[in-house]
Structure 1
């Protein structure tokens, strides 16, 4: 089995390598190709990857290349983990929206739109080159904004599934709180990428006992502290929102905070510099502890589980993925991309049935889906007016003057990445 990782020079990659090494019986990789245009950085990470495999006794071959076409040739699956513009672009995404009194964040709001505009054309070009080389390869997208990027891929006819680590993070956290194994926990996870709620925490499977009420009763304070939301939010919803919902439920508070502390992008950039220094140590043969602060916890486990189901021997697994709605949420169009539990096998994901959603959730999901429609149109066709309409439609913007000001700033800060600007 051959896997290729586009964006293999990411400082995330050793987390992925560690998972591949530990879970080799689940996903028996014979060849892994790390692909990245940053050759010097790629060699640092490739060297560490080989040492991790060697230490854990993994027999697979790890190669590195800056040649995309050569790297993806004959791959059974291609993982995408890109950041167009790097941390410098992320810093801009987190900064200029604050000038208009809006959340500065790289995956939602105006910053999220900027990232989508930069990313979608590049990802579609990569996917087309994969298809020319190997039309049977699965594309697993971990590149944010995952929902919009996955929808672009599926709309273009690619064999693609989107992946996020929010659900697996909740699964691991809740299992520890309930003194159960992660395999014992099934989440009623519903929504869009970075706009989800855990409406149930079931023991043993989709039809199992719902442990969510006792989880909130016993551990609500700890969960709320992790989410940086009041405990009352959990009690009144009777559900656990994704931590990204804080941008919606406490928008003004978040904006005030962001204006008074260093950006996450600046923190990550400093952390990446330190990580790359560690990766260059020829004695290092495991992922360093510092990597746990970088983000992406449990990404490797989620990626292994998904790839194993897509490429396996005919079995299936239930996993949270980003995939086509196709009637799962009846208030959304079939071609919307939702993030829900799905049964995954070699034919792809099939979402599990979702009970009728309370309008409290369905309304916000519908609103953000409408924004994503407009955001994808702007990413595919360009134009200031399309950018403006996407921003006006976003529930974190929604005002004419704000949308105008944000549009001007978005275009000014992203000209080098937008061919049409």
Structure 2
């Protein structure tokens, strides 16, 4: 009989937790679970209590004897854990709102993982993941860290290269949408197709083959992007406006893009749409806040013991399911192919051997074994090398609190024009997030002393958004 396992979820009060529980229940035959621990902070205690009680109802309905523990004490939860999953948001949704509205008020893209907002989410998250690893080193030194806290690629790279926690794997839900889209367009089941992804988190490309060994990538490009028979299906990304890609550009590339590439290939119309949402007080953070409020009202229902359909509207469907799949694959040494953030190890020839990439990998008991992609087309190579340099610079700034590194990360990022606006937005975001950026405390104090216009701008902007909430 297999040894019983203990799974800990940090950010247990997340609205995604019911999907995690459902995924574990579905895999009960593969995972001999003894304990599930949901961990959160004081500010998330009420949500964790609501969602934790729902988790208990789901497990009881499945007639399982798993012990479910809710706690605000991370160290208590981590003791002897086998798998630690992370789904937290430093600063909660209020922080996401700042990441979106401050850049947009300055004419720059406001988005959770791209542009200035993505950089600042990394600044807030990376120090926390490194603190978690310190606790894990002491309390559960053999545990796997399964991260689907965004920006997943940078968080995973920081965990492995800065935290020295080799047993870290990052996950994303985006590949699920692309796989489903290809299956629908080709009228095939997933088992009848072979997918190979390569790139960075929210910045990957993919190719597709059928069971007879025929590559179907070019056919998919025609059927998805050619104007005369553009696919009715999209990538299933609730949080990205579906502006059509330029057919000629994708055809020239010869591989299928990620939905998030719209922010780079279609920067002007994507920014224009985001500004329209901003002006209507409908940024993604503002929409998600309302969606979450409805979800938690549902979760309070003492008769609800299954994942509600409304959760699919939240925008991150499949994250938790992917985590369950990964845990089961590691635990059973299954060799299943999954798209994960892991060490490159030569999979993408154009990037450093030891950097973190998002690739198709075989999942084993010793972790992911990435499939070799080789070299990317020139048009993709230049972009991915720039983005990887940006990610590395973001991590450096997050770990050190170096303002120069932060400004350099802004300068490298293709969505941020270098100059006075970049400095203005950087300073505004530093001030807005001062409670979560202790590494930058000295610089933030200097901004508060010497740049009253920054303080006034941010305070007025956030007060206005609060009034219209």
Please give the range of the TM-score, normalised by the shorter of the 2 chains: over 0.9
User: 1:168 touches 1:302 (CA, 8 Å); kept in 2?
Assistant: no
Matches of 1:69 and 1:317, distance apart in 2: 32
Residue 177 of structure 1 deviates from its aligned partner by: 3.3
1:294 to 314, 335, 338: 314
For residues 74-89 of structure 1, what are the structure 2 equivalents within 5 Å?
74-89=80-95
1:391 to 410, 429, 441: 410
For residues 48-59 of structure 1, what are the structure 2 equivalents within 5 Å?
48-59=54-65
Point out 4+ residue stretches in structure 1 off by more than 6 angstroms: none
1:254 to 248, 251, 270: 270
Q: Determine the structure 1 residue equivalent to 2:29.
A: 25
User: 1:224 touches 1:230 (CA, 8 Å); kept in 2?
Assistant: no
2:145 to 139, 144, 168: 139
2:105 to 88, 99, 108: 99
Q: Determine the structure 2 residue equivalent to 1:310.
A: 330
Cα 1:48–1:224 shift into 2, 3 Å: closer
Cα 1:203–1:297 shift into 2, 3 Å: farther
Matches of 1:291 and 1:188, distance apart in 2: 28
Q: Which consecutive residues of structure 2, in runs of 5 or more, have no partner in the other structure?
A: 236-241, 442-469
1:195 aligns with 2:203: yes
User: Computing the radius of gyration over CA atoms, which structure comes out larger, 1 or 2?
Assistant: 2
For residues 6-405 of structure 1, what are the structure 2 equivalents within 5 Å?
6-37=10-41, 38-155=44-161, 156-158=163-165, 159-198=167-206, 200-204=207-211, 208-220=213-225, 221-222=230-231, 226=235, 227-230=242-245, 232=247, 233-261=249-277, 262-312=282-332, 314-405=333-424
User: 1:26 touches 1:305 (CA, 8 Å); kept in 2?
Assistant: no
Q: Which consecutive residues of structure 1, in runs of 5 or more, have no partner in the other structure?
A: none
RMSD of Structure 2 on Structure 1 (CA) = 1.8
Equivalenced residue count is 417
Matches of 2:408 and 2:232, distance apart in 1: 36
When normalised by structure 1's length, the TM-score is 0.94
Deviations 1:124-182 (A, max 9, x none): 10121012101100000001111110001001211201111111222233223333332
Matches of 1:278 and 1:139, distance apart in 2: 30
Matches of 1:138 and 1:181, distance apart in 2: 31
When normalised by structure 2's length, the TM-score is 0.85
Residue 398 of structure 1 deviates from its aligned partner by: 4.2
